[in-house]
Structure 1
Amino acid sequence: MINCIIVDDEPLAMSLLENHISKIDDLKLVGKAQNAMQAYKTLQNQTVDLMFLDIQMPHLNGIDFLKSLPQKPRTIFTTAYRDFAIEGFELEAVDYLLKPITFERFFKSVERILRTTADHTEDFILIKTEGMHRKLTLSEIVYFESQGNGIKVVLVTNESFISKSKITDLEQTLSGKGFVRIHRSFIINSSFVTAFSNNEIVVNNHKIAVGRSYKQEFETFISSVSRNKLL
């Protein structure tokens, strides 16, 4: 399932895209926005895999909005103007659709994403929070921190939330997937390690102490990192 959002200030264009999306089982519409600010809030609160982004919008156009995002979802530009095509592709947009968008052209654009996703399925976990199970890809999780009866989950977007999960259960689930337990309260995603010392590690600008009983695991991780020249 690919989570997508529509960002467009034209109600008819948004309605047409919504109708196109509803015809493809593997697409799930998780949000709609009429401007860049609304879209930004949606991206902060939802896991978005694909964004249908209009270019000509009030206050901040689609190209400048995409440039401003530190973490960019795959994007298909939708516009009534051909003039922005080159700049759109320079931003590594998946496609550039001219309005009015036929379903045939829409499907051709989306089909390449569906095919790529099928070939490169990314690992994910389900985290229970606020009575719902939230799907998170492992690549967006920076670290887990045990807090009281729950766990704090910190994402690359700096968003965080509390889950009722147990850190020991997570350690088993994440075994062999690039996560390392360095403290009785912390499991980190090794992909985000930017610096370390004997007693401390920096993960995406967060400093975390290494627990005494986890020194061996930490040293094994550091040896692996040094051998593969990851840092």
Structure 2
Amino acid sequence: MINCIIVDDEPLATALLENHISKIDHLKLVAKAETAMAAYKILQNHPVDLMFLDIEMPHLNGIDFLKSLPQKPKTIFTTAYRDFAIEGFELEAVDYLLKPVTFERFFKAVERVLRNNTDSLENFILIRAEGMHRKLILSQIIYIESQGNDVKIVLKTHESFISKSKITDLEAVLASRGFIRIHRSFIINPEFVTAFNNNEVHLGSYQIPVGRSYKHEFDTFVSNVSKNKLL
């Protein structure tokens, strides 16, 4: 669970963010503040992992407030102005969202936090499929197939989900977790490999082609299998 705080002096903006937060199970809103000074007091007394921080606020703006903090929580800036984007990223903000913040854009920003939080997202990913945000356990994913602007994710249970995602984005997340891209349209979980040759890989009853452009990745997989004496 990631504890969140909203720091914003606009009631409508705060209400919108609060609504967005309520839709994601891994986020818990622990406090709201209308000024930087009020937020400072809260941060002294409550553990906060993620701060949604407005920039244009009375007395002390969000940029200067974040600079003043000796221990900075992960921060996502929310603002109606583009002018502060560079300065925001120089402070290593997770993201910079323009108001009014849509849920789609909000979710992408939050996913970065979840992805980098090993306690929260070490063993699963979040995708949007069939109008829901779904938690998929990595060990249950057999393979992922690109289908135009979507991806099809096939699970051990033989369930499958279609998600509005790019296979390159999923590859960036899953490569460090043992998944291998062996074709421009396919990422596989090597734990499910039951047979292979130079042209295809079998994942139980599923047959996945090996793309010429991904021969290096495939050869690395074969080499690792050989080293582990699984042949």
The two structures have a TM-score, normalised by structure 1, of 0.51
How is 1:123-142 mapped onto 2 (pairs within 5 angstroms)? none
Tell me what 1:89 maps to.
Answer: 89
Tell me what 1:184 maps to.
Answer: none
In the alignment, the residues of structure 2 paired with residue 113 and residue 17 of structure 1 have an alpha-carbon distance, to the nearest angstrom, of 16
Q: CA deviation at 1:115?
A: 1.3
Tell me what 1:19 maps to.
Answer: 19
Q: CA deviation at 1:75?
A: 0.2
Q: CA deviation at 1:120?
A: 7.7
Tell me what 1:115 maps to.
Answer: 115
Per the alignment, in what secondary structure is the counterpart of residue 51 of structure 1?
strand
In the alignment, the residues of structure 1 paired with residue 108 and residue 10 of structure 2 have an alpha-carbon distance, to the nearest angstrom, of 23
1:100-154 CA-partner distances (Å, limit 9, x unpaired): 00000000000111111136889xxxxxxxxxxxxxxxxxxxxxxxxxxxxxxxx
In the alignment, the residues of structure 2 paired with residue 26 and residue 17 of structure 1 have an alpha-carbon distance, to the nearest angstrom, of 15
One-letter identity of the residue aligned with 2:8: D
Equivalent pairs counted in the alignment come to 122
In the alignment, the residues of structure 1 paired with residue 121 and residue 23 of structure 2 have an alpha-carbon distance, to the nearest angstrom, of 22
1:35-86 CA-partner distances (Å, limit 9, x unpaired): 0011001100100000000000000000000000000000000000000000
Per the alignment, in what secondary structure is the counterpart of residue 100 of structure 1?
coil
The two structures have a TM-score, normalised by structure 2, of 0.51
Tell me what 2:73 maps to.
Answer: 73
Per the alignment, in what secondary structure is the counterpart of residue 108 of structure 2?
helix
In the alignment, the residues of structure 2 paired with residue 92 and residue 52 of structure 1 have an alpha-carbon distance, to the nearest angstrom, of 14
Per the alignment, in what secondary structure is the counterpart of residue 25 of structure 1?
coil
Q: CA deviation at 1:5?
A: 0.1
In the alignment, the residues of structure 1 paired with residue 119 and residue 83 of structure 2 have an alpha-carbon distance, to the nearest angstrom, of 33
Identity score, percent: 84
One-letter identity of the residue aligned with 1:100: P
Per the alignment, in what secondary structure is the counterpart of residue 76 of structure 1?
strand
Per the alignment, in what secondary structure is the counterpart of residue 30 of structure 2?
strand
Tell me what 2:99 maps to.
Answer: 99
Per the alignment, in what secondary structure is the counterpart of residue 28 of structure 1?
strand
1:170-221 CA-partner distances (Å, limit 9, x unpaired): xxxxxxxxxxxxxxxxxxxxxxxxxxxxxxxxxxxxxxxxxxxxxxxxxxxx
Matched, 1:45 2:45: yes
One-letter identity of the residue aligned with 1:9: D
In the alignment, the residues of structure 1 paired with residue 80 and residue 21 of structure 2 have an alpha-carbon distance, to the nearest angstrom, of 19
The question of whether the paired residues in 1 share the 8 Å contact of 2:74 and 2:93 is answered with yes
Per the alignment, in what secondary structure is the counterpart of residue 5 of structure 1?
strand
Tell me what 1:31 maps to.
Answer: 31
5+ long unaligned stretches in structure 2: 123-231
In the alignment, the residues of structure 2 paired with residue 117 and residue 62 of structure 1 have an alpha-carbon distance, to the nearest angstrom, of 24
In the alignment, the residues of structure 2 paired with residue 12 and residue 120 of structure 1 have an alpha-carbon distance, to the nearest angstrom, of 29
One-letter identity of the residue aligned with 2:89: F
